[in-house]
Structure 1
Amino acid sequence: MLSRRSALTLFSASALVPTSAVAAAPREVMWDDLIPPGIPYSEIIGEGEIDEINDTWNPIYDANATKLNETLNGAYVRMPGYIIPLDFSAKGVKDFILVPYVGACIHTPPPPANQLVMVNADSYWPGNQLWDAVWVTGTMHTQLQSTELGQTGYAIVADEMEAYEW
C-alpha cells in the first residue's frame, strides 16, 4: 500500500511527463500499404481505353481497385501525399483528397479508390502551399466514398499536417 507521501510524489512526477511521450506514435503508411496484402499493384489497374478526342487514357478498374487494407481501419497513421482541395477559403484548405502524385484527379483519370484518401483536417493548410508534398497525421478509416473527382477508399481525420521534407 502506498503512503500518502509516496502517492503524492508519484502523482507529481507523472504530471511532469510530456503528453507527447505518453501518446502513441503514428504508424507511417505509404501508398503501397493501402493495397491489401497479396494483391499486386498491377492487378488494381485493369485495362483501359484511349479517348482519342480528349487525348486521355480511361482506365477500367477491376474489383481489386476497391479492395481496402482493413488492418488500417482505426489506425493512427502518418502518411505523405499531395492535396487536391475539395473546398477552399481565404484561410486555406481543410477538406481535401490526399493523392499519391501531383495532379492526380485533375488532369488525368483518378487513381483507383484504394489509392485515394479523403481528409478532414482540424486546421487549415495554407492555400499558397497546395502544390507542396505534405505529411498528414490522424486516424484512418476504410470507407468507400464517391466524389466529383473520383471514388476514395480511405478517410483520415487529420489532427496534424506538415510539409514533407525531402
Structure 2
Amino acid sequence: MDRSRRILPRRTLLAAAAAFAAGPRNSWAATPRVLAWEDLIPPGVPMAQIIGEGTIDVFKDTWLPVFDENATKLHKDLDGAYVKMPGYMLPFDISAAGVTSFLMVPYAGACIHTPPPPANQLVFVETKKPWQTDRMWDPVWVTGRMRHEIQSTTLADIGYAMDAEVIEAYEW
C-alpha cells in the first residue's frame, strides 16, 4: 500500500477536526432558561406570605409594606443558572458610554415611585458592554448567569445578582 495515500486522509481528517473545534461555539452554547418574575420566588412560598400587612402613610398617601422572612427566600435552583428575563432598568452606574450596572425591577417605577418590591423580586445587573440609554426605566431582556447575592442599598434589599452577557430592548 502506498504510504502517501494513507497520510493524506489523516491530515485531512486532522485539519477538519481542528477547524471544527476552532469554529464558532454559539450553536453549542447553553440555551438560557427564560424566567418570569414569579419564578424568582421559591416553590411553595406564595406571594401572599412575602408581604405582611404594613402601614399606611396618610401624609404621603402611600402604603409601606412590611416584609417577612419569606421576602428574602431565594429560589435555590437559580443560583448559578444561565437565564434570560425581562424587566425595567433602574440605572446605578451611568456614564457617557452608557449604563454598566442597574437594578432590574418587575415594573416601571418600582423603588422610586412606590415602595420597593421584596428582595426576591429584585436583580442587581452588571455588564461589561454598556447599555446605551438616556432615560430610566428602559424595558430590557437580560441574559446571563444568575446568582444569590443579598445586598442592602439605600433603595431596597436585593436578593439576586446577574452578570449580563446580552442586553436587548424588550417590546411589551
**Unpaired segments of 5 or more residues in structure 2?**
1-8
RMSD of aligned Cα (Å): 1.6
1:137 to 119, 136, 143: 143
Which residue number corresponds to residue 59 of structure 1?
Answer: 65
Q: Secondary structure of the equivalent of 1:77? A: strand
Q: Secondary structure at the match of 1:87?
A: strand
Note the alpha carbon deviations across 1:35-56, whole angstroms, 9 max, x for none.
0001111111111110111211
Is the contact made by 1:31 and 1:115 (CA closer than 8 Å) also made in structure 2? yes
Q: Any gaps of 5 or more consecutive residues in structure 1?
A: none
State the match for 2:14 in structure 1: 7
Alpha-carbon contact 1:96-1:118 (below 8 Å) kept: yes
Distance 1:29 1:165 in 2: 16
Please identify runs of 4+ aligned residues in structure 1 that moved more than 6 A.
Answer: none
CA deviation string 1:101-146 (max 9, x = no partner): 0000001110000000011111112222533310011111011100
Give the secondary structure class of the aligned counterpart of 1:165: coil
Which is greater in Rg?
Answer: 2
Q: 2:35 aligns with which of 26, 29, 32?
A: 29
Is the contact between residue 46 and residue 61 of structure 1 (CA under 8 Å) also seen in structure 2? Answer: yes
- Measure, in 2, the Cα distance between the counterparts of 1:63 and 1:15: 49
Identity %: 54
Asked if the contact 1:90/1:127 (under 8 Å) is kept, the reply is no
Q: TM-score w.r.t. structure 2 length?
A: 0.89
Partner residue, 1:50: 56
Q: Do the aligned partners of 1:85 and 1:97 also contact (CA within 8 Å) in 2?
A: yes
